[in-house]
Amino acid sequence: MSEPAKRAELGDAQHLEVLGYQDSFNRSMSLWANFALGFTYLSPLVGVYSLFALALTVGGPPSIWWIVIVGAGQLLVSLVFGEVVSQYPIHGGIYPWARRLWGRRYAWMAAWVYIWAMIVTITAVAEYGSGFASSLFGLEHTADTTLWLTLGLLLVALLINLSGTKWLARIARIGLAAELVGVIGLGLYLLIFQRKQEFSVFFDTMGVEGDGSYLTAFVGAALAGLFLFYGFEACGDVAEEVENPARRIPRAMQLTILVGGVSALFSFAGYVLAAPDLRAIVAGEDADPIPAILESTLGPVGAKLFLVVAITAFLSCVLSLQAAASRLLFSFARDGMLPGHRWLSKVTEGSKVPANALIVACTVPAIIAVLVWLNADLLYPVTAFAVLGIYVAFQMVVLASLRQRIKGWKPAGPFSLGRWGLLVNIIALAYGVFAMILLATPGTSGDPVTDWIVLIGLGIVLGTGLVYLFVARPDRQSDAPAGDAIEVADRLRAHGTRAVPAAAATAAAAADEPVA
């Protein structure tokens, strides 16, 4: 679908100059390291493990198809993002994209929602990872143990991030390997050697619909896919630390979705087919079935080895989340849009990382973890809006991109959808609205707080953001360029973009080398 027939001749530093910035980071991240960062953020192992029991209880084995549905929708979103980051390969992702496509106030709200969604996600992933760590070390799973292990994961990730981009890339690659072993390797093993169910089970509802329609039950299981497929945008959050980002980051985003989707399918299918008592899981009699499945198929030693792999994946996921959140904070602060922006926008001399922003991306999740320790019932309320918040921020960029296209914008980066761009943009927006409706639909438990908690959480974040925006007017504190997509596209073309033969461009893309 992409048309790599146009290639920006500008070097990375020159491209940044056209966008109004100086090249101040070490560009030590390769295509595969950038892909590994996005993949470990997306983390199919974390997503599948967290929602496996819920998906089967609500939607039965056919809930696996949400992985396919949501993966296809998010792939369209990644194509839209690819065109945007190819023109704007700058730190921060969602925030600078929304600002350059629409305006400062619009971008401020998109980034405010996205920052809080990411910070809460960091806390949640560290909390879930602490359970694996306590099982591995044979510790009793108490509130105190959970707190200390959660804080330990956050601190280890911070120290690795402070060491520099090279260590971030190394650990991301290790996390990628752990994820692939933990989801694809284990999934294939379960599918081939431990299968206890027929493949037809993925079309068997097992009675979860009761006396009603199965469509209602299937829609209720949508979270199985919606929770899984975000994280690919993190590839763009570190754009100024990637060589040739305008071409590599769109490819890394698409690889993250495709490989992540295949990995999740293998993992989910493997657990379903290897379950010794699948009906008990679907009936809700086993709230945490994966350990039992692993114990019965791998034995005690194999289950312990899997825990090591899982903890590695969780650590890498926290690491990637911290890195992405810190770059967004840095980008926000660099434009003077946050309190303490001078402190937050500092880059260390040696390791060339936004250290202060990293400290914030560790400290705030740690504070939330302490609040959860004081009241365990807070974990669900503080995380409930995270997925919806991520989708809201995503679709603000997709909507801004569509608005610019209608005004005449033709993306000028080396990655382009060409004449398919408008259609893909429209379908991606329609998918996003559909996903947000699914996420925001109130529950039916009868408890107003429980049923409306997702919208309550999002409403609090949006409300505080709007109050700060109109009282403090951070949009007036910055003279950073905004709403200039058409103008920048013209400038980039004027600085040397030229057409090249399609065959030459395709060969160059395959070799990951610039077109001569």
Tell me the torsion sign for CA atoms 133, 297, 56, 427.
positive
Q: Token pair for residue 117? A: 């969604």
The more confidently predicted of residues 449 and 322 is 322
Give dist(CA 263, CA 188) in Å, integer: 10
Q: Across the strands, what pairs with 7?
A: 498
The pTM of the full predicted model, rounded to 2 decimals, is 0.83
- Tens of pLDDT, residue by residue over 444-485, are 767 787 678 788 888 888 999 899 888 888 888 777 788 999
- The helix/strand/coil state of 242 is strand
Q: What are phi and psi of 242, to 5 degrees?
A: -115, 135
- The helix/strand/coil state of 207 is coil
Q: What is the dihedral of CA 306, 308, 310, 312, to 10 degrees?
A: -150
- Residue 82 confidence (pLDDT): 95
Helix residue ranges, H only, 1-103 = 12-19, 31-42, 44-59, 65-87, 94-101
pLDDT at position 172 over 80: no
Superfamily of the domain at 29-489:
Amino acid/polyamine transporter I (1.20.1740.10)
- Tens of pLDDT, residue by residue over 279-313, are 999 988 877 788 788 888 888 888 888 888 888 88
Residue 256 buriedness (CB in 10 A; 0-12 / 13-18 / 19+): buried
Residues 6+ apart with CB under 8 A from 345: 330, 333, 334, 354, 357
pLDDT at position 514 over 50: no
Report the candidate in 203, 118, 52, 108 with the shortest Cα–Cα distance to residue 391.
Answer: 118
- Residue 515 confidence (pLDDT): 34
pLDDT at position 505 over 60: no
- The helix/strand/coil state of 6 is strand
- Tens of pLDDT, residue by residue over 189-247, are 888 888 888 999 999 999 888 888 899 889 888 887 888 888 788 898 888 888 889 99
Q: What are phi and psi of 332, to 5 degrees?
A: -60, -45
Q: Across the strands, what pairs with 6?
A: 499
pLDDT at position 511 over 80: no
Residues 6+ apart with CB under 8 A from 512: 31, 244, 248
For residue 7, the surrounding DSSP H or E stretch is strand 6-7
